[in-house]
């Protein structure tokens, strides 16, 4: 695994002009910390196609930080994906986060011509060779729909071998799950960086809902503590900052090749952790 550390911040494209202006303000603030790149999520099935594209282009041209669009294949045709990949390539975008995606419930699962993220990675390589640095998703606590942990590891290895350059994990609150995952996939021949995805804790009910949906375990001791704080957001944030800072220290001391922050379009929670860790600016 590469020893070079990299730091990145993830955003989601907003629906309103006001939300977009706020996002650009947050991005300008975070740009002052010299991240390696920003990324911007994509609504599976193409629901945010134009907003993701425009946000990424604006982050690059106005905020002057390299930006990576997320791109998912479920629910999109090859023709749609080819056109979008071509637009990104023509605009000089150099990195894509390649995913399967999750269609909103009721829209079916297997629609689209490419079924898994590994198919999308192969497709992007066929269409654009080595132009893009391709990131893929990793699940230290297992993807929620995986048959079992071993099958999920094998599928991850297959996805990496299809042409991924690095991976970003789903968030987790248990550093051991990350170290175990990395050790196992390294033994299976994976030598790309697997960067931990970091979710700052700022709001208990939202976090509990998100975690149930994406299969991230919220450990009992964290859940109980957050529940006990009730509406006391200042205490929730102080506790969350402490817990996540300690986990990041453990990850970096244990050799993690960087950190990727799920900002939810807010600067302060990620920056508090960044500053506690005294990361380079
Ligand atoms: P895959 O790698 O295709 O895996 C999906 C499931 O299929 C797994 O259970 C895997 O074990 C299984 N599988 C894989 N290959 C095979 C095979 N050949 N045979 C049988 N089973 C197989 N979602 C969005 O919609 N938009 C986003 O912008 C977005 N950004 C994300 C960013 C990160 C860093 C992460 C970690 C997730 C993100 N997601 C996003 C969520 C992601 O789309 C979902 O978790 C989705 O359910 C799986 O995507 P994947 O790329 O991991 O899929």
pLDDT in tens, 129-184: 999 999 999 999 999 999 999 999 999 999 999 999 999 999 999 999 999 999 99
- 1 pLDDT band, cuts 50/70/90, is very low
Tell me if 117 CB under 6 Å of ligand 1. yes
Helix axes 204-214, 220-229, angle to 10 degrees: 150
* Alpha carbons 170 and 198: distance in angstroms, whole number: 8
pTM over 0.75: yes
Catalytic residue among 10, 60, 135, 241: 10
Beta bridge partners of 194: 167
Which pLDDT belongs to residue 280?
86
For the chain, percent of residues with pLDDT exceeding 90: 91
Average pLDDT over residues 35-50: 95
* Alpha carbons 281 and 276: distance in angstroms, whole number: 13
pLDDT, tens only, 187-240: 999 999 999 999 999 999 999 999 999 989 999 999 999 999 999 999 999 999
Tell me if 197 CB under 6 Å of ligand 1. yes
Lowest mean pLDDT among 110-119, 124-133, 257-266: 110-119
Ligand 1: nearest atom to the Cα of 143: 9
DSSP letter at 112? S
Residue ranges covered by each domain of the chain? 6-277
Q: Whose CA is nearest to atom 51 of ligand 1?
A: 99
Whole-number Å distance, alpha carbon 117 to ligand 1 midpoint, is: 6
Catalytic residue list contains 217: no
Tell me if 39 CB under 6 Å of ligand 1. no
Mean pLDDT of the chain: 95
Tell me if 99 CB under 6 Å of ligand 1. yes
From 59, 48, 57, 69, select the one nearest 26 (Cα to Cα).
Answer: 59
Tokens of 66: 């390299």
Is the pLDDT assigned to residue 59 strictly greater than 60? Answer: yes
Tell me if 102 CB under 6 Å of ligand 1. yes
Residue 4's H or E segment, with its range, is none
Q: Whose CA is nearest to atom 18 of ligand 1?
A: 155
Strands (E), the chain: 6-11, 37-40, 67-72, 95-99, 133-138, 166-169, 194-195, 197-198, 258-262
Whole-number Å distance, alpha carbon 210 to ligand 1 midpoint, is: 15
Pocket-testing residue among 39, 101, 104, 258, ligand 1, by greatest number of atoms within 8 A of Cβ: 101
Tell me if 168 CB under 6 Å of ligand 1. yes
Which pLDDT belongs to residue 96?
98
Asked if 196 and 256 touch (Cβ cutoff 8 Å), the reply is yes
Which pLDDT belongs to residue 281?
83
From 197, 212, 209, 206, select the one nearest 247 (Cα to Cα).
Answer: 197
Number of H helices, E strands in the chain: 10, 9
Average pLDDT over residues 69-87: 96
- 2 pLDDT band, cuts 50/70/90, is very low
Which pLDDT belongs to residue 28?
98
Which residue bears the tokens 């640095």?
Answer: 133
Q: Rounded to 5 degrees, what are φ and ψ at 201?
A: -100, 120
Is the pLDDT assigned to residue 106 strictly greater than 90? Answer: no
* Alpha carbons 211 and 218: distance in angstroms, whole number: 7
Contacts of 237 (CB under 8 A, 6+ apart): 201, 202, 269
Domain 6-277 has CATH 3.90.470.10: no
Whole-number Å distance, alpha carbon 100 to ligand 1 midpoint, is: 5
Q: What's the distance, Cα to Cα, between the start and end of the chain in Å?
A: 23
């Amino acid at each position: 695994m590469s020893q070079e550390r990299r730091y990145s911040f993830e955003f989601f494209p907003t629906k309103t002009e006001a939300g977009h202006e706020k996002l650009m303000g947050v991005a300008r603030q975070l740009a002052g910390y010299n991240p390696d790149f920003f990324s911007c999520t994509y609504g599976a099935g193409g629901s945010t196609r134009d907003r993701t594209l425009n946000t990424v282009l604006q982050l690059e041209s106005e905020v002057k930080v390299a930006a990576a669009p997320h791109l998912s294949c479920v629910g999109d045709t090859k023709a749609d994906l080819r056109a979008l990949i071509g637009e990104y390539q023509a605009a000089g975008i150099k990195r894509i986060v390649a995913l399967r995606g999750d269609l909103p419930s009721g829209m079916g699962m297997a629609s689209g011509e490419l079924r898994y993220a590994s198919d999308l990675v192969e497709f992007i390589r066929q269409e654009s060779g080595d132009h893009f640095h391709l990131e893929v998703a990793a699940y230290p606590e297992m993807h929620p729909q995986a048959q079992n942990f071993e099958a999920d590891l094998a599928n991850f290895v297959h996805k990496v071998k299809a042409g991924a350059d690095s991976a970003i994990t789903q968030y987790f609150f248990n550093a051991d799950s990350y170290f175990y995952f990395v050790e196992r996939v390294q033994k299976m021949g994976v030598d790309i960086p697997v960067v931990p995805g970091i979710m700052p804790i700022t709001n208990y009910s939202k976090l509990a809902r998100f975690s149930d949906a994406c299969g991230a375990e919220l450990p009992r001791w964290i859940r109980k503590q957050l529940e006990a704080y009730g509406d006391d957001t200042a205490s929730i944030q102080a506790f969350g900052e402490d817990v996540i800072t300690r986990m990041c220290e453990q990850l970096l001391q244990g050799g993690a090749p960087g950190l990727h922050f799920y900002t939810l379009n807010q600067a302060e929670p990620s920056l508090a952790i960044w500053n506690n860790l005294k990361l380079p600016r």
